[in-house]
Amino acid sequence: MSKRKLTRQQSWRIEKVQKERLSRVSRHKVKVEGLLDNGDLGPEQPGRIVARFGKQVEVVPVDDFGQPNGKAIHCHLRANLTNLVTGDSVVFQSSSDAGIVIACEIRRNVLERPDSRGVIKAMAANVDQIVIVSALEPAPQPELLDRYLVATEVAGMKPLIVINKADLMQESTVNQNFLAAIKNLYQVLGYTVVESTTKDVGGLAELSKYLIGKSSVFIGQSGVGKSSLIHALLPNEDIRVGHLHKQTRLGRHTTSTARLYGYKAGGSIIDSPGIRDFGLDQISRKDVERGFVDINEFAEYCRFRDCRHRQEPGCAVLDAVEKGNVSRRRLESFQRILDTLTGGDA
C-alpha cells in the first residue's frame, strides 16, 4: 500500500465525494420507500426489463404468455434488486407516472460482455437466440463471427447468422463471391444463415420468420444495421440509426444501451450496442473447442489427446485442413482465440 500522505485539499475532496454518494443513496431509499408506502401503486403485475439506466429501469407489462404488451414504465428498484438487465422477467407495481420493481424471476440464461474497462457485465437475460449480424459494409470480420459463435455456445443460446445489406451485393461480383463463400462455409457447419436488406421490399421476409415466438438479441459490429433491421421490422418504434463514417466506412456506435422491443408476431427483440469483441478471455479452452464444431469433429482422431493442432505429428485437424475438409481460416481463428485466453491453458 502506498504510504503517500494526502494533502488537506485531497482529504477534503474525498470526504465531500463520499458525503455526496451517501446522500444520493439515502435519497434513492427515501424515494423507493415513499413509492412503496404510497397507496397509489397499482397491483403487482408481471413485466420484462426493457432497458437499464444506472439505478433505474424501464419495464414493459407482459400478458399471460409472457408477451410484451403495453407502454414501458419508468421504475425504481428495490434495494435487493441491483443486478437487473434488459430481458429480465420481473414483478412490478406502478402508479400513473412511475413504478417499482419488487421481484425478479430466476434467469434462464444470461449473455455477458466486457464493459469499456474490461469488467464483465451482464448484457441481456432470458435469451433464446443470438442474431449475429454482419454486412458487406463495414467489411465483415469472419474471426469476429467465430468469436460470437463461441460466446453463443458458452451462453447456451442458439445462433442465427444474418448477412445484412444484401442490396450491396449487386454492386460487384467480388461482393457476391465473398458472401457466397461465407454463407456456404457456415451453412456446411450446420448454422442457419439468412440474407437481409432494409432497402428493398421483402428484404426481411426470411429473417422475420426466424424471430417469431423467440426472445432474440441482435449483436454485431457497429454500423452493420442492427437498429435499421429492428426499425424495419417494427416501424412504429422510435429507433435511432447512424450513418457510417465517410472515409473509414465504420459505424459510429449509435446505439448505447441494450433495449427490448415486443415482436408483434410473438416474441421479443433486443437491440444492442455495436461491439468489437466478446471478451472471450473469461472462458476455457474446452469452451472454445465446443464453439468450433468443425475442428472438434476431427480433434478426437488426433494421435495425442492433448493435441494443440499446431504442428503435432498425427494431427487429424491439420490433415483435414490439408485435404480441404476444415477451412484454414477457421483453424487460424481458433488458434488466435486460444492465444488470447488469459487462463494460460491454451
Ligand X SMILES: Nc1nc2c(ncn2[C@@H]2O[C@H](COP(=O)(O)OP(=O)(O)OP(=O)(O)O)[C@@H](O)[C@H]2O)c(=O)[nH]1
Q: Where do contacts with ligand X occur on this chain (CB under 6 A)? A: 164-165, 167-168, 197-199, 222-228, 241-244, 251-255, 273-274
Given 255, 268, 327, 333, the residue binding Mg ion (CB under 5 A): 255
Contact call for residue 196 and Mg ion (CB under 5 A)? no
* Alpha-carbon span 254 to 222, nearest angstrom: 8
If we measure between CA atoms, which residue out of 176, 178, 173, 194 comes closest to residue 140?
A: 178
Taking CB under 5 A as the binding criterion, the range among 12-20, 158-166, 178-186, 253-261 that sits at the site for Mg ion is 253-261
Contacts of 82 by beta carbon, 8 Å cutoff, 6+ apart: 55
Contact call for residue 268 and Mg ion (CB under 5 A)? no
Smallest separation, CB 149 to Zn ion (Å): 20
Residue 195 or 312: the one with the smaller Cβ distance to Zn ion is: 312
C-alpha cell at 125: 437475460
First-to-last alpha carbon distance for the chain, in angstroms, is: 34
Residue 233 or 315: the one with the smaller Cβ distance to Zn ion is: 315
Q: Which does 317 bind (CB under 5 to 8 A by kind): Zn ion, ligand X, Mg ion, none?
A: Zn ion
* 221 close to 274: Cβ distance less than 8 angstroms: yes
- Please list the residues that pair with 195 across neighbouring strands: 163
* Alpha-carbon span 320 to 325, nearest angstrom: 5
Query: Which of the residues 221 through 250 are near Mg ion (CB under 5 A)?
Result: 226-227
Q: Which does 41 bind (CB under 5 to 8 A by kind): ligand X, Zn ion, Mg ion, none?
A: none
Smallest separation, CB 198 to ligand X (Å): 4
Residue 41 or 244: the one with the smaller Cβ distance to ligand X is: 244
Smallest separation, CB 34 to ligand X (Å): 37
Contacts of 316 by beta carbon, 8 Å cutoff, 6+ apart: 298, 299, 300, 301, 302
Please count the other Cβ atoms lying within 10 Å of the Cβ belonging to residue 129.
20
Residue 72 or 302: the one with the smaller Cβ distance to Zn ion is: 302
* Alpha-carbon span 260 to 217, nearest angstrom: 8
Residue 110 or 317: the one with the smaller Cβ distance to Zn ion is: 317
Please count the other Cβ atoms lying within 10 Å of the Cβ belonging to residue 36.
13
Smallest separation, CB 126 to ligand X (Å): 22
Residue 52 or 226: the one with the smaller Cβ distance to Mg ion is: 226
DSSP 259-309: EEEE-TTSEEEEE----S---GGGS-HHHHHHH-HHHHHHHTTSSSTT--S
Smallest separation, CB 219 to Mg ion (Å): 11
Residue 227 or 333: the one with the smaller Cβ distance to Mg ion is: 227
In the sheet that holds 129-135, the strands lie side by side as: 193-195, 158-164, 129-135, 214-219, 267-271, 259-262
Q: Which does 87 bind (CB under 5 to 8 A by kind): Mg ion, ligand X, Zn ion, none?
A: none
* Alpha-carbon span 242 to 223, nearest angstrom: 7
Contact call for residue 198 and Mg ion (CB under 5 A)? no
Q: Which does 223 bind (CB under 5 to 8 A by kind): Mg ion, Zn ion, ligand X, none?
A: ligand X
Site track 172-191 with Mg ion (rule: CB under 5 A), x = hit: --------------------
Residues that bind Mg ion (CB under 5 A): 226-227, 254-255
